[in-house]
Amino acid sequence: MQIKEIKLEDSIMLKVKGRVDTGTSPELQQEILKSFQKKNHLILDFEEVDYISSAGLRALLIGQKTANSKGGSMKLVHVCEMVNNILEMSGFINILTIE
Amino acid sequence: MKEIRVRAKAENLNQVYTFMNEQLLSVCLDSSKRAELDMVVEEIFINVASYAYEGEPGYVTVQMDLLTQPDRIWMSFIDDGIPYNPLDRKDPDITLSAEERQVGGLGIYLVKKIMDKVEYQYMEEHNILTIERLV
User: Domains in chain B, please, with CATH?
Assistant: 2-134 (3.30.565.10)
Residue B104 has pLDDT above 90, yes or no: no
Q: Please tell me the predicted confidence (pLDDT) of residue B70.
A: 94
> Which residue does chain B place closest to A84, by CA atoms?
B32
Half-sphere exposure of A71 (CA within 13 A, CB side): 0
For residue A95, which residues of chain B lie inside 8 Å, CB to CB? Answer: 96-98, 101
Radius of gyration of chain B (CA): 15
What's the domain count of chain A?
A: 1
> Which residue does chain A place closest to B30, by CA atoms?
A82
Q: Please tell me the predicted confidence (pLDDT) of residue B105.
A: 84
Question: What pLDDT, in 10s, does the model give residues B51-88?
Answer: 999 999 999 999 999 999 999 999 999 999 999 999 99
Q: 3-state DSSP call for residue B5?
A: strand
Q: In what order do the strands lie in the sheet with B59-67?
A: B2-7, B59-67, B72-79, B126-134, B117-123
Residue A68 lies in domain: 2-98
Distance of CA B9 to the CA centre of its chain: 14
Q: Does A26 contact chain B (CB < 8 Å)?
A: no
How many degrees, rounded to 5, is the angle at CA B59 between CA B54 and CA B60?
A: 110
pTM of the model: 0.96
Query: Which member of A64, A81, A91 has the closest CB to residue B94?
Result: A91
Residue B103 has pLDDT above 90, yes or no: no
Helix (H) or strand (E) holding B42: helix B31-51
Question: What pLDDT, in 10s, does the model give residues A59-97?
Answer: 999 999 999 999 999 999 999 999 999 999 999 999 999
Distance CA A20, CA A44 (A): 12
Taking alpha carbons only, the member of A28, A33, A74 closest to residue A55 is A28
Distance CA B6, CA B35 (A): 22
- Other CB atoms within a 10 A radius of the CB of residue B73 amount to 23
**Strand bridging mode A11-20 / A41-52:** parallel
Size of interface A-B (CB pairs under 8 A): 64
Subunit contact B109:A22, Cβ cutoff 8 A: no
CATH code for the domain in which residue A75 is found: 3.30.750.24
Taking alpha carbons only, the member of B27, B101, B83, B30 closest to residue A54 is B101
> Which residue does chain B place closest to A97, by CA atoms?
B98
Distance CA B41, CA B26 (A): 19
Query: Model ipTM?
Result: 0.94
Q: What is the mean pLDDT of chain B?
A: 96
Q: What average pLDDT does range B16-39 have in this prediction?
A: 95
